[in-house]
Amino acid sequence: MTVAAPDIIGRDEARALGLKHFFTGEPCKHGHVAERDVGSRECMECSRERARKHRAADPEGYREYGRKWRAANPEKAREYQRRWWAANKDKRAAREERLTKRAAAQLRKDRNHQAASRRPAESGARRIGA
């Protein structure tokens, strides 16, 4: 499968057309040949890397931000979730299968533990009348 390169479009032209991104075909200072943001001129690949580093530096803060946003925007959050579920049925099925296998393994472990605790203690002494 081949991916078509984006059309070359300058920043001024993109701004005039009301677009958020433009593409020059030129590498950024970090060597990425990617679209750039019209407002900041930042390469979108550099932007993704910066966001990844920010999230990795403070994962709990990122989760807290998400919780607050979902609490403030429940309708949007539900809509995003519905769209994700519809677009990722295969991922959901794989996760369900993993959880089912994990639950089955835990159930087996619990049953074995219960069975072992019910057995009389094995010792050298024998019960009388047995």
Examine the pLDDT at 95 and tell me if it is beyond 90: no
Examine the pLDDT at 39 and tell me if it is beyond 70: yes
Examine the pLDDT at 124 and tell me if it is beyond 70: no
Answer yes or no: is 128 within a domain: no
Examine the domain organization and report whether 16 and 46 are in the same domain.
yes
Examine the domain organization and report whether 47 and 92 are in the same domain.
no
Which residues neighbour 32 within 8 Å (Cβ) at sequence distance 6 or greater? Answer: 43, 45, 46
Examine the domain organization and report whether 76 and 106 are in the same domain.
yes
Average pLDDT of span 31-44 = 95
Examine the pLDDT at 107 and tell me if it is beyond 90: no
* Residue where a domain stops, chosen among 24, 39, 57: 57
Count of beta carbons in the 10 Å neighbourhood of residue 75: 7
Where in the sequence is the domain holding 16, given as residue range(s)?
Answer: 1-57
Report the first-to-last Cα separation within the chain, whole angstroms. 74
**Average of per-residue pLDDT values in the chain:** 87
Examine the pLDDT at 61 and tell me if it is beyond 80: yes
* Residue where a domain stops, chosen among 9, 24, 57: 57
Average pLDDT of span 82-88 = 94
Model confidence pTM above 0.85: no
**Structural domain total, the chain:** 2
* DSSP strands (E only) in the chain: 21-22, 36-37
Examine the domain organization and report whether 74 and 47 are in the same domain.
no
DSSP 87-111: HTHHHHHHHHHHHHHHHHHHHHHHH
Answer yes or no: is 45 within a domain: yes
